[in-house]
Structure 1
Amino acid sequence: MASLKTAVSYSRRLLTAITHQVTRTLMLFTSGGASTCPDCRSSNLQTSSSAAAGAEKGEDSFLKWFLLLIPATTFGLGTWQVKRRQWKLQLINELHKLTAAAPIPLPLDPHELKTLEYRRVRVRGRYDHSKELYILPRSPVDPEREAREAGRLSSSGERGANVVTPFHCTDLGITILVNRGYVPRQKISPETRMKGQVEGEVDVVGVVRLTEIRKPFVPNNDVERNRWHYRDLEAMSNLTGAEPIFIDADFASTIPGGPIGGQTRVTLRNEHMQYIITWYGLCAATSYMWFAKFIKRI
């Protein structure tokens, strides 16, 4: 019994000593590792400073290379716009070649016609002025002015309509649709331009055009009021009884007193040079800022 009491007493003293040691260790830990030893405190401060400096250096290195993505990205976008501009200029050149090539007879194969947009063709026949259609509002085609005004929200110049007239091809035995050209607003009514309402057979050279899909913000065609805003060959042919074949008469087909031909727009929107200047300018500015902050400072 005495030995049991001695063992219990010894266990209590040992437990008390362990408790005091754990408490002291926790106090040292919560005080930031402070030590009564001056050399120990100095060593701890040096270690903390080194760790902080290393962390800061790592953050600067990450930020340095991350920000370099900005000039690299803008340089890539500028280079892409250079290639886009070359592609657009080549496309415009090809369209001009098609509209200036020697005319060919109008083929009757619908599949062949789909591959001939902007190709010049020649037909002979007579107009049916009683079924004129009006695509409006339109302004007369001026390639040089359109190139200057490309990208603007509004453009200058008068407004009128393009006159589309059924044309019976006597050599082919079919009726097609011919965009005779532009008339100002006050000349839309046929009674105001009777001299241009030619009778009899004529030769017409024109550019093949395909049907259009209505673009956003373009109004729907008003068939009942004969106000067309885009080429819908199916609806136009159903209304006039013509085949869904459409050509823009060239300028040489213009008849005095009638609509002005040559209203095919082949000037595509080309703003790539502005984008090139913008992206390369941003690349130069951000590259200098990156150099000043991370290289010049060192």
Structure 2
Amino acid sequence: MRPEDDETRSPARAARPSLWLTVLSLIAFVVLVALGVWQVERRTWKLALIDRVEQRVHARAQPIPSRASWPAITAASDEYRHVSVAGRFLHDRETLVQAVTEEGPGYWVLTPLERDDGTTVLINRGFVPSERRDPSARQGGNPDGQVEVRGLLRITEPKGGFLRDNVPQHNRWYSRDVSAIAAARDLHNVAPFFIDADAGSRSGPGPIGGLTVVRFPNNHLIYALTWFALAFMLAGRLFVTFRGGLFRRQRFVHEPAGGLDASARRTGSDAGTIVEPT
């Protein structure tokens, strides 16, 4: 074989993708499609969750779950249920949890509500600004005696807030951790959830209730389209590469075996063979 033959074959060889690059590309395509399908499934789940929570929030208030059912309470089955509970506030054992709301920075006021059956439920009575964190600044808003509270059932928030751990020994709270608050305030028979009081539970200058934010980000369709678009572009690139390399057809022409001028071509028994891509 003459040097001219290698030079003629080199463009076709250069256009062919290597095996390992082809395998990695196919794996990437499968992964991108799988991610797109997963986001579609997540979107279906999120829409069902939003619809379920909307129904719970706007339903008629029901009594809180019985003590026997407390171990079975989960976020999926119970959170944001509209509930009601009656009892007596233990204002001397309230806990302030740092919060940022539409009213600005301040605190959630979590007050134990002691029920007639001896159980206790933590009530997030609402928000107070920093200048009213001292109970003496809102004594007129702390009702005595038997009260009824309506609001949304919320699941405990253990261990603290984002990058900030609760410090019970210094009375610094960044999340509504029911068990930790109960231990710090020497409370017993405490429900494993708390209740966000609604706006109608406010009394005088007491905490502002009804500030629960019920919002579920739903960007799964955008994510799905992004993954599918990347998969489509990769598939297009693979098609172009394969069509120009592995699967391109070749045709044969003849070149004089002894001729130095590649343009002088003829057929016959003394002709050599070269390959040209079509």
From 127, 136, 146, the counterpart of 2:98: 136
**CA–CA distance in 1 between the matches of 2:23 and 2:182?**
62
From 85, 97, 113, the counterpart of 1:167: 113
Is the alpha carbon distance of 1:99 and 1:71 closer, same or farther for their aligned partners in structure 2, counting shifts above 3 Å?
same
Write the mapping of 1:57-136 to structure 2, written as runs, cut at 5 A.
59-60=16-17, 62=19, 67-106=25-64, 107-109=66-68, 110-113=70-73, 116-136=78-98
**CA–CA distance in 2 between the matches of 1:102 and 1:217?**
33
Shift of 1:289: 3.8
In percent, how many aligned pairs have the same letter? 33
CA contact under 8 A between 2:141 and 2:203: conserved in structure 1?
yes
| TM-score normalised by L of structure 2 | 0.69
SS at match of 1:122: strand
CA contact under 8 A between 1:136 and 1:229: conserved in structure 2?
yes
From 224, 238, 251, the counterpart of 1:276: 224
SS at match of 1:56: helix
From 174, 179, 183, the counterpart of 2:128: 183
Aligned residue-pair number: 238
**CA–CA distance in 1 between the matches of 2:243 and 2:12?**
20
Shift of 1:87: 0.9
What are the ranges of 5 or more consecutive residues in structure 1 without an aligned counterpart?
1-43, 141-156
More helix, by proportion: 1
**CA–CA distance in 2 between the matches of 1:174 and 1:70?**
56
Is the alpha carbon distance of 1:93 and 1:79 closer, same or farther for their aligned partners in structure 2, counting shifts above 3 Å?
same
Write the mapping of 1:1-298 to structure 2, written as runs, cut at 5 A.
44-45=1-2, 49=6, 56=13, 59-60=16-17, 62=19, 67-106=25-64, 107-109=66-68, 110-113=70-73, 116-140=78-102, 158-170=104-116, 172-214=117-159, 217-238=162-183, 239-245=185-191, 246-295=194-243
**CA–CA distance in 2 between the matches of 1:66 and 1:177?**
55
What are the ranges of 5 or more consecutive residues in structure 2 without an aligned counterpart?
249-278
RMSD: 3.5
Shift of 1:247: 1.8
**CA–CA distance in 2 between the matches of 1:215 and 1:133?**
14
Structure with bigger gyration radius: 1
**CA–CA distance in 2 between the matches of 1:227 and 1:177?**
17
**CA–CA distance in 1 between the matches of 2:119 and 2:17?**
76
